[in-house]
Amino acid sequence: MLKRGFKSQCERRAVELRRQMHRVPVDPLPATDVARHFEITILSPSEIEGISDEDLNHLLREGSNEWSGFTLGISGHHLVVVNTAQSERRQNSVLMHELAHIILGHQLCAGTISSGGHFVPANYDQDQEDEAAWLGATLLVPRPALLWMRRVRMTNDQAATHFGVSPDLLSWRIRMTGIDYQLAAATTRHR
Amino acid sequence: MTPKNLGQMIQRKRGSMGVRAAAGEIGISAATLSRIENGRVPDLDTLKKVCAWVGIDPASYLGMSSEQAESALPSVQVIFKKDRAVSPKTSRALAKLIQAAYQQFAATITPDGHG
């Protein structure tokens, strides 16, 4: 459950961050630009040294549908590795989700490697996951951007392309913000 | 103990009990239990619940106590596509990628910041 006022705070952050980065609220905000703004390192799996071709090929081919990325934190610095075998829009939302965790100051969760060499993740904090999901999606498509796409009569697909997000993420934002109800109510009032 | 061994132990303990009923007793979803029985690697919290139900120490799977495991990699977060119970091969390759990334990134950080 999100804290009271959190959603409005996310909208303000999304607009404020665009302002700091010299953009208007309806401009797309690629997650890679946000990472650069916060000096967060991003590497692709193939840029990691010391991993065998066999493991790399597995992670980017056969096993590529099982993982999306990971974040490491060392002494206050962060590295995000995104699965480059997934679509660019998916990479954009995964990276923004991870950046949202960092922006919100969340503690990274623990994990370990078993004696058999398997990565065993510790359990996630669901509240933190919900917060990062909400902020990440809001940073990508803030409310003013959704109102704008309706005003200029952009289709959902055109808007998803403009903001570099999946049609699913865009539809989720439209539903969660209730902009269509808001616009319909405004039209009724003006009749 | 391998992920496959754990899956077999669960199946033995479950016997004729249905997956849904066993999952309910353990406190996890039936889909997750089914995946672990098929040799998928669970997350730590799920592993602890399953081991408690089977009556084994998670250390026999992890090679360390679950307390040590919780602080072994204190600052890593992995995003999985759909489910955190991934195939053993992906889990092992991911472990290697994370360790390599950790070493590479740590080497770029100086006490003053990024080197």
Q: What ipTM was estimated for this complex?
A: 0.85
- Asked if the Cβ–Cβ distance from A122 to B92 is below 8 Å, we say no
In contact, A55 and B93? CB cutoff 8 Å: yes
Which residue positions in chain B have pLDDT lower than 50? Answer: 113-115
Query: Could you say which of B42, B87, B114 has the minimum Cβ distance to residue A66?
Result: B87
DSSP A148: H
Please tell me the predicted confidence (pLDDT) of residue A142. Answer: 97
Phi, psi of B76 (to 5 degrees): -135, 140
Domain architecture of chain B: domains with CATH: 1-56 (1.10.260.40), 60-115 (no CATH)
Is the model more confident about A113 or about A134? A134
Q: What is the DSSP letter of A46?
A: G
Tell me the pLDDT tens digit for each residue of B45-66.
Answer: 888 899 999 999 888 877 766 6
Cα B15 to Cα B38: distance, rounded to the nearest angstrom: 15
Helix (H) or strand (E) holding A53: helix A53-60
Across the interface, of B64, B69, B104, the residue whose CB is closest to A48 is B104
Q: How far is CA B57 from CA A151, A158, B72, in A?
A: 60, 54, 18
Would you call B74 an interface residue with chain A, using a CB distance cutoff of 8 Å?
yes
pTM of structure? 0.78
pLDDT in tens, A130-172: 999 999 999 999 999 999 999 999 999 999 999 999 999 999 9
**Each residue's pLDDT tens digit, A48-85:** 999 999 999 999 999 998 888 888 888 788 999 999 99
Shortest Cα distance, chain B CAs vs residue A11, angstroms? 24
Q: Do B99 and A115 touch (CB under 8 A)?
A: no
Tokens 């999901």 -> residue: A133
The interface residues of chain A toward chain B in range 99-158, judged by CB-CB distance below 8 A, are 101, 108-124
Summary mean pLDDT of chain A: 91
